[in-house]
Structure 1
């Protein structure tokens, strides 16, 4: 026997010989991939041929396509499996703020900064203030066609608000009872004097819904709220009061069927009790039902304030937003007198299944205030972009993931006035010598023209400044056709 010891066998790396994932039934795989995103599925497809076959199966693709269409707010759209990849990329780009393309559309050099910008169904609408009248322009982003007309009556009003449908534009002047509508196909003009001065107007195809809140000021917490609703049928030019709704918090207009759905909520009951009523456009009651409002979607680690210590306030009525004529969302705020802060809850009505749900908004602002919709674009039922004027950044919020991304505004090289305006805003926040009064005067003058206004939908986000509009395209299959549009040139790359 020799003194030399035998060497130990060389250790070999462990190699799995059994594909656990590949052996699972499709039903189990579907339960697993519910926790994935489309990007995770793409990565799994690159793992092996077997995994590519599994994660390219019709059942998994259909599951993710259904979830993606729900995220985009276009459930029910017929999309083939071959086109699913485009929709997955579309959702991913919205989540990561990675547009397919950016362009810059300058304002006409002969005009002042346009007012009251609106966007719907690939059409951009704005008005240009003139010396004697207001010139209105509507631009089709898909074809490049422009429609312009002049509204002489607008010169009597300080500020106009408007809504767009696929065919009509409706204007209601601030603190007046005048309502004007234009048929963009025929350029026929309709006028209506309303029985109320303070109101919110929304337009759904050819039905304008007017909610009167002038008799119940939002700051008056003592009186019982009363909200009469009127419907102006532009196809027949018929104006009809539907009913008066105490405690109105959400409404939905189904223009195809001519049905208005109204929700009144009694927050003094636990759980809150909802009365849902359905009406025809002529004011006939079709259906009435009551049910408790489930707050199960509101996270249990956040306390809903006791109503004896809080105030419930209907926020800016323009937050009553409808997506694809199917879902309508509104935002409410519970304000605690004791804690001096607000808790924001979103109500969502899905007309397809006739269901009202409530969800907590985790991106609620630190201080209570009205929603400034010119600073916020709710692109899908689950995603919104907000311009934070104090931090000079965008806040991007996803309702399910609960994430808030902060990103600065990247300017185009031609946004010189906007750049100077934001610079002066920053200077005004720091004590300055004798020129501070002059700077503050410039700031106050500029505040009358919001430095950034954002708008859009799931396809396009528009960021309008003093110099023009940045258009961010997220739909990979949507191509703009604008002769005056310029390629986006980041300011830091312009030298």
Structure 2
């Protein structure tokens, strides 16, 4: 054996040949298509030659569409973009490692954690003790503004989008505001609780929350201030996608009582509600079975739309250790499912059980019982990253809550003082964790520097994380 090893050693030495470095760049581009993003970044550290190859403009240009799709920016026009910036941006997002963290104390406390929202560089929330007003902070300008709802009384909930703010009152009236012009676009009253709103250009798709009763879908044309209702849906409406350019709304109804689950896909005229097409097909589950079980989702987690793609997450109430991640691609008219194995069971009915989706295949979810932090799921790769939460020294309520976890105390619901557990929310650029004391802000986009004069440097609490 020793003799064979000695004879083979020179051969091994001669094999040291840089295959990648000797390939034409056009072939390297083809190789890159099969590599994970993290591998591309690691390969830049192998040698100067590999760094010049994997950071070249040719490779960057070939990666850009892939990066934009991963970040939910598919179809965006990026001028003189550095694809490596987008790679590092995405890798930080999927590992929950921001470029920078700061702490922003509350100037006016929010009334409820459920009504703290962030979208398109704006933060808004219902103010504590002033339940008819919404406070908004613009992260680009640092400007604060107040939006009043005194005409319709106390606010039930709010919805925030690129251009629009929707204020939903307890009398089931929705007021729509244009954030660009500060103009009130209109008011509409609905017979059901309008629990979910999605926006496609100037069309708002409104899905009510109705238990065990059939209900329509409403489409509010914000330009004309007209509402159309169509269809009749029951509890099996789990997903929908609106495309304003084609003037089409696609709805999905699921029957999980059979195997494989039966799906009914229906296409409607978005502005008029006329039926365009309807088909039924089985949903491929990749070898898993869910028939005769109760499939559900948490009330605040419905559909998330990123360009041509819409995603949603469901879980089995009898087996809370997995998430079913559904993605509809309107461009290809394809519905797909991926499975995410969870480190900690899903389904605690509280604010701690919530999860959010800053990118099409990235899901952040709190895991307070075992991990005192949260998990980051990548539905595209099946990889789960566990991230203990590092509290700021000013987040005294966070320290108290995590201490309660270590003593196995039940603290899942808000306490009598109207305080609330931590809430995480945000998007691919800015993510935040809200506590009684303020916001711990995470910045992922290296090219975006928020204008927040009141923000303070992050000071880690040693006992947390």
* Deviation at residue 153 of structure 1 after TM alignment: 5.4
* Deviation at residue 328 of structure 1 after TM alignment: 1.2
What SS class does the counterpart of residue 165 from structure 2 fall into? strand
Aligned counterparts, 1:288-367, within 5 A: 288-295=277-284, 298-300=285-287, 303-305=288-290, 307=291, 309-313=292-296, 315-316=297-298, 318-336=300-318, 344-363=323-342, 366=345
* Deviation at residue 32 of structure 1 after TM alignment: 4.2
What SS class does the counterpart of residue 21 from structure 1 fall into? helix
> Is residue 211 from structure 1 mapped to residue 207 from structure 2 by the alignment?
yes
Aligned to 2:117: 118
How many pairs does the alignment contain?
452
Aligned to 1:264: 253
**Cα RMSD (Å) of the superposition?**
3.4
What SS class does the counterpart of residue 361 from structure 1 fall into? strand
Q: Is the 8 A contact 1:113 1:467 kept in 2?
A: no
Gaps of 5+ in 2: 1-5
Gaps of 5+ in 1: 1-7, 218-224, 431-439
Aligned to 1:377: 356
Q: 1:481 to 1:56 in 2, by over 3 A?
A: closer
Counterpart of 2:422 (choices 449, 452, 466) is: 452
Q: Is the 8 A contact 2:266 2:278 kept in 1?
A: yes
State which drifts further: 359-368 or 118-127. 359-368
> Is residue 254 from structure 1 mapped to residue 236 from structure 2 by the alignment?
no
> Is residue 280 from structure 1 mapped to residue 262 from structure 2 by the alignment?
no
Q: Deviations over 1:156-211 (max 9, x none)?
A: 46xx221112222112246x533232333234263222122464333444322222
Aligned counterparts, 1:65-464, within 5 A: 65-79=64-78, 83-108=82-107, 111=109, 115=113, 116-130=115-129, 133-152=131-150, 156=154, 160-173=156-169, 176-184=171-179, 185-188=181-184, 190-197=186-193, 199-214=195-210, 216-217=211-212, 226-246=214-234, 247-267=236-256, 271-285=260-274, 287-295=276-284, 298-300=285-287, 303-305=288-290, 307=291, 309-313=292-296, 315-316=297-298, 318-336=300-318, 344-363=323-342, 366=345, 368=347, 375-391=354-370, 392-424=372-404, 426-427=406-407, 429=409, 444-445=415-416, 448-464=418-434
Equivalents in 2 of 1:418, 1:154: separation in Å?
35
The TM-score normalised by the length of structure 1 is 0.80
Aligned to 1:5: none
State which drifts further: 268-277 or 179-188. 268-277
Q: Is the 8 A contact 1:90 1:476 kept in 2?
A: yes
The TM-score normalised by the length of structure 2 is 0.84
State which drifts further: 395-404 or 25-34. 25-34
Q: Is the 8 A contact 2:346 2:353 kept in 1?
A: no
* Deviation at residue 454 of structure 1 after TM alignment: 1.0
* Deviation at residue 465 of structure 1 after TM alignment: 0.5
Q: Is the 8 A contact 1:178 1:194 kept in 2?
A: yes
Q: Is the 8 A contact 1:165 1:205 kept in 2?
A: no
